[in-house]
Structures are given as structure tokens and as C-alpha cells.
Structure 1
Amino acid sequence: MNAEALQRLDSFPYRHRVAEVMSSPVVTMPAAATVKQACDLMIEKGISSVLVTGDSGLAPTLAPPLGIVTERDALRLIAEEGEAALGAPLSRLMSSPVEGVPQDAFVYLALGRMDRLGVRHLAVFDTDGSVVGILSARQLLRQRAGSALAIGDRIGVARSAEEMLEIVRGLPALASSLLAEQVAPLDVAAVISGVMRDVTGRAAHLSAEAMAEAGWGPAPAPWCALILGSGGRGESLLAPDQDNGILHAGTPKDDAWYAELGRRMADMLNEAGIPYCKGGVMAKNPEWRHDETGWRRAIDIWAERPIGENLLNVDIFFDFQAVAGRGDLAELLRAYALDRARKTIGFLRNLSLNQREMRPPLGFFGGIQTIDGRVDLKIGGLLPVVSAARILALRGGVAATATAERLREAASLGLIAENDAADLAGAHRILVRLVLEQQIEDIAEGRQPGTRVELARLTKPQRHLLREVLRRIGQVPDMVQDALSA
């Protein structure tokens, strides 16, 4: 993303998701309906499009739409054919296939997709593929941000690691611009995570394509690629490495194909600016690549022996999201994982005991401890909050992966007091901002970004606030212990 594009950047599309601005409920008509009937309905409803559905026997919003008819389509046909056009069936006029976007996508992705495809309407889908709304260019007229919005949709058409590398390299400038526009730090992290997810998914897709061309043939069974850790939570910052896995519906005999897919994915992501995971959490390694039975076996082992490396694996795995392939496979696995964890209270207690090792960097008299003038806000700051939210979510069977959402859900279930949940969510926001701002400064000055924040760059009020946040985080293990004992 170049400087000119950033200067034109409107932060609205990076603050809001499609579900917030779409029109709903969806208006549908059968393919046999006439142009006149569609025009009358659009005028009556004050809308600019209708979805065309077939005779599948399903409810209109559950069946895949056959096409879409817009007011422009109708006006164009009437201009060409006059009054005779009013009796034409919608099947003749509709555009197909219907382009769409997930309801939880940020608006910038939808705008970029509209621009690339040259369309003015997108169907909005929920996680099970049902149509839940329509997004029109008219609705977004005030939120246009020019070529800067193309970042999201460019990934979906990238054909090489080099193309994706250009996008990944633009993330620090994008994050800096969004923070300057007063976009909430967690929303900035969600945008970064969206790019990480899209790049990981695209690498999986391109790798599978390349395998077919190289003689490996198609996948022996349905599969999906998973992003793990902060990418799965939607909380990636500017020093990410790879955390990914593969779930497939085949058998162990099919592993060679998926091993090759994992290897190619890892190599492409590394070339695209997302380096190999130093801890080996990548689908190219067999412990992060399984069929459903293999993943269930791994979950059982983690639950029965939550010690050492198993604890680290749990921290990474339980935040997963599907980024390519059959997402329904991932949701079936999530249901099993949540049920197993929720019912194994000893497992959760061991996770909570591990939290006591994540001590905030505070001295005996409450001063902030530093090394070479910097304080590490990951080990004793971000991790305790993220871990607490995860444990509480597992205890309550909550499927959400974002830290703030997990805390809200835990409070609604009575696992933690609402004020405690709000305090922890606030602490999380503050720490994310401090780390993100430091990373942007470090990158600008040619330093490797990390999670260590230079104390001298903080104002006196910021240092005081940070001390209070870290002091509050020191109480987290007791909060979690109380929740598990209730």
C-alpha cells in the first residue's frame, strides 16, 4: 500500500463489519417472476436489488441464490426493449453467480471485492452459507476509500508469494495510519489478523493447485487449513510467525498428500513474509496434521496429561479458525474439543495452575521491571489475560475465540463477575495498544518488532496506568481459580 493511498484512507471500513451496514432481511423472488413484479417490489421495499431463487424446497435464504437482479439491470432492459421488457422473467435478466462476502468481514474487504469484480451488490453469508443480507454500493457511498481498500481482496486473487509479500509488507504503514485515525487497537489487530488469515488460506489454495499440476492429483478427501494462536483469535500484531494446521476427512494412509500440502504452505508463507514457526507449529509437521480421529486423539492426550509441551499446544490449538477448504470439518472438531475440555475439570485446573508462572513484571515495591530499558508485555501481560479468557471459555463451552468476546460470554454465564471481565478486557486493550505502537516505531527505525516496550517512551500517566494494569493482572490466577471452584 503506497503513501498516496494511505493519505486517502478513510478508517470507517476498518472499524466496521459487513453485518453492521448490510440491509436485512433479504428480499427474494422466484426465477419465473417478471421484471415488472421485481420493479414493483423494489419500489415498495425501497431497495435496489432482489435475489433470484430456484425451486429447491428450502427456505429462500437457505437455498443458494440462482442470481441477482438490480434496478440498473431492469432499467437497462426496459431502455432496450421498451414495455415488452416488463413481462420478461427474472431468469433472463439476472446476473449469475451471485458474488458474496461473509457477514463478519470488515467493510474494506467488501469494498475491495466490489471494485475488483465491477459489481454494486454483494450477498452477505453467515457461517453456514445462508444468505443473511445484501450490501450495496449505495449503502457504502460515504465510506469510499479508493485504492487503499484493495488490500483485502487482492489476496484472494494473488497468484504468487511475491504478490502476497507486497501486501504483508504494507501492514505496518496500514496499522500506523489506522491508529492515527483513532481506530481501536483491537480493531487494528483484527485487520492484521484478517490479512494473516487470508494469506494463510490463499497459500493453502495455491499449494493445492500446484500439487495437482505437479501430478499429485486432487486431495484424497475433504480437508481444511487452520490458523492457530493469535491469528485464530483475531489478535495478531506486527511480529507474527506461522501457526497453522491441517484437518482432513481421510485416513492416516492419505498423510503423504497432506504432508506435501503442509510443506508447500509453509514455504509459500515464509516467502510471503510470514516466517516459519520456531516452535514448529506448522502443518508440515505431523503433530499439526491429522484426520479427525488423529485430532481427537491429540485432544484427549492434552486433556489427560496437561503438562509441559502439552500445555503450550493447548494454548495455540484452542484458538483455531478454518481459513481454507471445508470449514464445517473444523466446527465439528471444535464441538468435540469444547465438550472434552468442559467435562475435564482437572485439565482446566492444570491450565489455571500454569497461569501462576505468568507473573507480571512488577518488583517487590510495585515498580515496573525492565531489561535494557524495556518491559516484556507478553509473558506477564497479554498471555495471562488471553489464557484466562480461554480457560473460562472452555469451562463454559464457549465457541468464541476472541479474548474480549470470551470474557463477555464468561460473564454472561456467571463464571466471572461482569466488572472483572470488563477490567480484564480493558487491560487487554491497553496492552495491545502499547505493544502495537512500539512495534510500529521499531519497524520505522529498522529494529525487529517484538513485545518489549521501551518504558522511557511512555508518559508519566501511561506508566502509572501500566502499573495498575499489571497489578490487576496479578490477580487473574485467583479469579480463574474461583471460577473453576464454583
Structure 2
Amino acid sequence: MVPESLRGLDSFPYRHRVREVMRTPAVTVGPDCDLATAAAVMLEQNVSALFTIDAAGQACGIITEKDVLRALTRLRDGAAVAPLAGFLSSPVAFVRENAFVYMALGRMDRLNIRHLAVIDGHERVIGLVTARDLLRLRAAESLRIGDAVRAATDATGLAEARTQLPQLVESLLAEGLTAVQVAAVVSAVYADMTRRAAQLTESALQADPAFGPAPARWTVLILGSGGRGESLLAPDQDNAILHAGTEADDPWFAEAGIRLSALLDAAGIPFCKGGVMASRPEWRHSLDGWRRQVGRWLEHPDPESLLKADIFFDFMPVFGDAGLAATLRDEVTERSRGALSFLHGMAAHLDGISPPVGLFGRLKTQQGRVDLKRHGLFPLVAGARIMALHQGIAATATADRLLALLQRQILPEADLKPLLAAQDCLIRVILRQQGDDLRAGTVPGVRVDPSRFDRADRAAVVSAVRQCARLPQMLRDSFDRVRPRPR
């Protein structure tokens, strides 16, 4: 049952991102202009706030219509010619363009403000969101999970936010969101937790006389399903560090990785059983170091290299210098498209996977459950990744990759909807099983009990795993489609 506090939840803030509701472009003025000019610009542009920015496009200050009214009241006749600089607020509160709307709602409530700058991946101001714009989207106070994460000061605060996720998932599914949309919300919360843990780690190291500030620009990456925005309710840590330093700087980043992983584990995101964490040297490199590592994977595609690349190539930056990650993404995308032995090696891993369907369309189980990740999501996600890498597509989300493949006429239009429906079906039944397991006090996973399915669910799951089983042949077709024709 959905708790009473979650009934009637307005799901809009969890379905839409800030970039969809922001006012853009941001309206800016110079700090040397006067209040009369600022008021005239607000009136002309029909906005309630103006920004001043630096040469890099980052916000230096903000002035709102309320600030202008206060100045007029205080200065009276002299207000019109008063310099704007004396009334700017700084630092400027912001939200990222790809954040969900609920993040903006929560941040405004916590900071008791009505305006937020919207920034892009390079922290440049690109728009504005206001409380007036979002008033109709307000959700229950208890569900401002993302901003609760931002306000956390330790593992306990982070863990409190995470404990709300199962109820939120149940509510959003009941509200009619697609399972892929719900997984994106879950992923956003985990990403926020990792970002906040990295912020706390950096602050602690800066205050530690043995370490001090970071010796070079750096960024924390989340990998695997987190990087794709497809996380479910059984997370573990898949993260890495990318920095602009040298090998001599590794002691600082090693300590950062160790503290980050420990903090996340204490907050309820357990250590990765496979050791894919920034606390391990293999997952912590400079930009040149990652270039060499990626090169080794591409040039020597043994099973271990393929497994590690499979996890890493879906990376997404969540903290620090996103420009470093953008540079690495461009290079990985370009180098992968020509690494045919590597791509064929990744594709070969899918050949032995068959749909777990027996006679009369019955799902085959082991100990009463069926692994819908291995027999469904894995071939779909991996197949989309391989085809995207082959085509030089930088997107990481499975749906985005499939859409890009359609646009390049690699994926037939008739295949798109069935594959998207298969992904949504499998994520939905796994999320429901994980919710049931958590309520029963069982550790959630990706193995589902099909005895709980009704006839419609069973038919949908059988259809989904059969669709996913088509990926190996679709991969072969995509390789053939771009192979040079003989003259």
C-alpha cells in the first residue's frame, strides 16, 4: 500500500527536468549599471531577476524585483542612479539544467528563496526558474529527497534521504510514470548522494593538514547503470576518479577515493563486490592515465578488459570539473568506433544468452525466480551500447542510444517501440519485486518470482525477454549494414 503521506502526489516534478520549465536565455546586466536600468530591463524582458556574469559565463550576482523595491524604499529619490553592485546577492543559488524539477522545489524551500539560476555542465548560467513558475508543481514536503541530500552533513543525513526511495518508487509507479522514468529519478537521487559525499570528502581533506586542497582539477564519475540513469533499488558503488594531475598527486586522490567509498557505504550504497570504486588504483587516474587504460581495453579485448569497459563506458560526471569528463567522453567515443575487434568481442558475450522461456511460454526459474537482468536487461543494454559505440554516438542512456540509432537508420523503426517497451516492462517488474523484498526484510536483487504475475504480466515479460534475445542478431545486422560494399 502507498503511505497516506504519498497519496495524491503530483508526479510532474519527478517526470520533468529543469531545462523543460526554465526561462531561457538568462537575462544579464553589467554590475556597473544603475537600478533604474535594471528595473527597465526587468520590465522589458518580463523577468523577475537579473544576473551578472563573469567572462566564463558563470554567475557573480543576482538582483530580484524585491531587491529593487527594497532599494527604492530605502534610497527614495536617489535610488534610480544607485549602482547595481551594492544590491546584488552572492553567491548565486543554482540548479543544474538536467536536474528534476523536484530538486528546484526543494532547494527553494530550504533556502527560502524564489529564484534559482540554471547552469549547464560547464556551470554557465543558461536560464532562470522561479517559485512563481513552479507554484503549481509543488509536491509534499517529505518528498524533497534530492535537496535533503544536498543539505546532509554526514552519512546519517544521506541515509535518511535514501530510505524514502522505495515509497517514492511505489508512488510514482502508481501515478502512471513509466518505469524508465522512475529509474531515472532513482538514479538522480543516487547521483546526488555521490555528489554530496564527494563534496563532504573534499571539504574534509581541505581541512586536514596532512592533505589540504586538491592538487589538481578533478571529477567523480559514476559508472554502469548510474551513468545511464537506469538504477534500481539494489545499488552498489560503481565510481571512479578522473583528474588533471600527475602520478605524484595520487596520494590525495587515493585518500579521496577511500573516504568517498566509506561514506557512501555508511549511507546505504554498499561497496562494490567487484571492486569498481575510486578507492582502488585501477579506477583512479589522470586524464592521460585513463587514455592509456582505455587504449589497453580497446587493443587487448580479453574477457576482463571487456567486463571493465562495459562498466566504465557509461560514465557520467557528478562532481568537480565536468570538462575533464567531456574531453574523455569525446575521445572514448571517437576511439571506440574503429575498434572492431573490441566491439565484436563485446558482442560475442551476448551469443550465449537465451530467453528463459520453456514450453507453452512458461518462464524457466531457478529456486523459484528468474534473473531478468541477465536474460533481459543485459542483452538490451549491452546491445544498444555496442551499436552506439560503433556509430560514434556519445549518449549513455539506453533509450537515447536506441533513438540515435533510429535517426542514423541503423535501427529499423519497427524495432524501436518493442525494445523500449521491453526495457520498461522489465524495469517495472524488477522494481515491484524489489519493493516486495524490502517490505519482507529480504535483500533486493534482480531475480523475480514469476508466480506473482497475473496473466497479462506473464505475457508481457515473456514478450520482453524474447525481444531482448534478438539483440545479437540485430548487432550482426548493424555491423553488416556499415561494412564497405565490394566494388
- Residue number in structure 2 paired with 1:112: 106
Q: State the TM-score, normalized to the length of structure 2.
A: 0.94
Q: What code does the residue aligned with 1:95 have?
A: S
2:202 to 198, 208, 224: 208
Deviation at 1:205, TM superposition (A): 2.4
Moved more, 413-422 or 445-454: 413-422
Deviation beyond 4 Å, 4+ runs, structure 1? 2-5
Deviation at 1:332, TM superposition (A): 1.2
**Preserved contact between residue 193 and residue 231 of structure 1 (Cα < 8 Å):** yes
CA distance, structure 2, for counterparts of residue 137 and residue 83 of structure 1: 31
- Residue number in structure 2 paired with 1:82: 76
Deviation at 1:446, TM superposition (A): 1.4
Q: What code does the residue aligned with 2:449 have?
A: E
CA distance, structure 2, for counterparts of residue 53 and residue 372 of structure 1: 61
Q: What code does the residue aligned with 2:40 have?
A: D
- Residue number in structure 2 paired with 1:176: 170
1:264 aligns with 2:266: no
Moved more, 239-248 or 145-154: 145-154
Provide the aligned length of Structure 1 versus Structure 2: 479
Q: What code does the residue aligned with 1:13 have?
A: P
Please show how residues 245-256 of structure 1 align to structure 2 within 5 Å. Answer: 245-256=240-251
Q: How has the CA–CA distance of structure 1 residues 199 and 89 changed in structure 2, closer, same or farther, with 3 Å as cutoff?
A: same
Deviation at 1:330, TM superposition (A): 1.2
Deviation at 1:8, TM superposition (A): 6.6
**Preserved contact between residue 224 and residue 322 of structure 1 (Cα < 8 Å):** yes
CA distance, structure 2, for counterparts of residue 87 and residue 357 of structure 1: 75
Deviation at 1:451, TM superposition (A): 0.9
- Residue number in structure 2 paired with 1:280: 275
Q: Helix, strand or coil: the match of 1:401?
A: coil
1:306 aligns with 2:284: no
- Residue number in structure 1 paired with 2:484: none
1:134 aligns with 2:128: yes
Q: What code does the residue aligned with 2:305 have?
A: N
CA deviation string 1:106-139 (max 9, x = no partner): 0011111111222111111112222221101000
Note the aligned Cα RMSD (angstroms): 1.9
- Residue number in structure 2 paired with 1:403: 398
**Preserved contact between residue 377 and residue 468 of structure 2 (Cα < 8 Å):** no
Deviation at 1:233, TM superposition (A): 0.6
CA deviation string 1:146-181 (max 9, x = no partner): 423432122223211111111112211111121122
1:422 aligns with 2:417: yes
- Residue number in structure 2 paired with 1:17: 17
1:332 to 327, 335, 347: 327
Q: Helix, strand or coil: the match of 2:67?
A: helix
Please show how residues 362-373 of structure 1 align to structure 2 within 5 Å. Answer: 362-363=357-358, 366-373=361-368
- Residue number in structure 2 paired with 1:59: none
CA deviation string 1:79-125 (max 9, x = no partner): 33334322222222222222111111000111111112221111111
Moved more, 425-434 or 205-214: 205-214
Q: What code does the residue aligned with 1:475 have?
A: R
Please show how residues 377-456 of structure 1 align to structure 2 within 5 Å. Answer: 377-456=372-451
- Residue number in structure 2 paired with 1:47: 47
Deviation at 1:377, TM superposition (A): 0.5
Deviation at 1:7, TM superposition (A): 4.3
Deviation at 1:208, TM superposition (A): 2.7
CA deviation string 1:244-303 (max 9, x = no partner): 111122222322222222111111111110111111111111111112222112211211
- Residue number in structure 2 paired with 1:323: 318
Moved more, 258-267 or 311-320: 258-267
In the alignment, structure 2 segments of 5+ residues that lack a partner are 482-487
Deviation at 1:74, TM superposition (A): 1.4
- Residue number in structure 2 paired with 1:157: 151
Q: What code does the residue aligned with 2:123 have?
A: G
CA distance, structure 1, for counterparts of residue 237 and residue 361 of structure 2: 36
CA deviation string 1:206-257 (max 9, x = no partner): 2233233332222222221111111111110000111111112222232222
Q: What code does the residue aligned with 1:123 have?
A: A
Identity of aligned residues (%): 47
Moved more, 106-115 or 286-295: 286-295
Moved more, 341-350 or 145-154: 145-154
CA deviation string 1:374-422 (max 9, x = no partner): 2211001001111011112111211111110111111112221122133
CA deviation string 1:415-448 (max 9, x = no partner): 2112213321221111111111111111112121
**Preserved contact between residue 6 and residue 140 of structure 2 (Cα < 8 Å):** no
Q: How has the CA–CA distance of structure 1 residues 65 and 242 changed in structure 2, closer, same or farther, with 3 Å as cutoff?
A: closer
CA distance, structure 1, for counterparts of residue 96 and residue 250 of structure 2: 31
Q: Helix, strand or coil: the match of 2:59?
A: coil
Q: Helix, strand or coil: the match of 2:75?
A: helix
Deviation at 1:461, TM superposition (A): 1.4
Q: What code does the residue aligned with 1:224 have?
A: T
1:64 aligns with 2:58: yes
1:459 aligns with 2:454: yes
**Preserved contact between residue 388 and residue 480 of structure 1 (Cα < 8 Å):** yes
Q: How has the CA–CA distance of structure 1 residues 46 and 395 changed in structure 2, closer, same or farther, with 3 Å as cutoff?
A: same
CA distance, structure 2, for counterparts of residue 295 and residue 45 of structure 1: 46
Q: State the TM-score, normalized to the length of structure 1.
A: 0.94
CA distance, structure 1, for counterparts of residue 243 and residue 261 of structure 2: 17
CA distance, structure 2, for counterparts of residue 65 and residue 201 of structure 1: 21
Moved more, 329-338 or 232-241: 329-338
Q: What code does the residue aligned with 1:388 have?
A: G
CA distance, structure 1, for counterparts of residue 214 and residue 63 of structure 2: 36
Q: What code does the residue aligned with 2:62 have?
A: I
- Residue number in structure 1 paired with 2:67: 73
- Residue number in structure 1 paired with 2:189: 195
In the alignment, structure 1 segments of 5+ residues that lack a partner are 57-61
CA distance, structure 2, for counterparts of residue 151 and residue 115 of structure 1: 12
CA distance, structure 2, for counterparts of residue 150 and residue 470 of structure 1: 35
- Residue number in structure 2 paired with 1:92: 86
- Residue number in structure 2 paired with 1:123: 117
**Preserved contact between residue 422 and residue 463 of structure 2 (Cα < 8 Å):** no
Q: What code does the residue aligned with 1:374 have?
A: R
Moved more, 116-125 or 71-80: 71-80
CA distance, structure 2, for counterparts of residue 259 and residue 111 of structure 1: 36
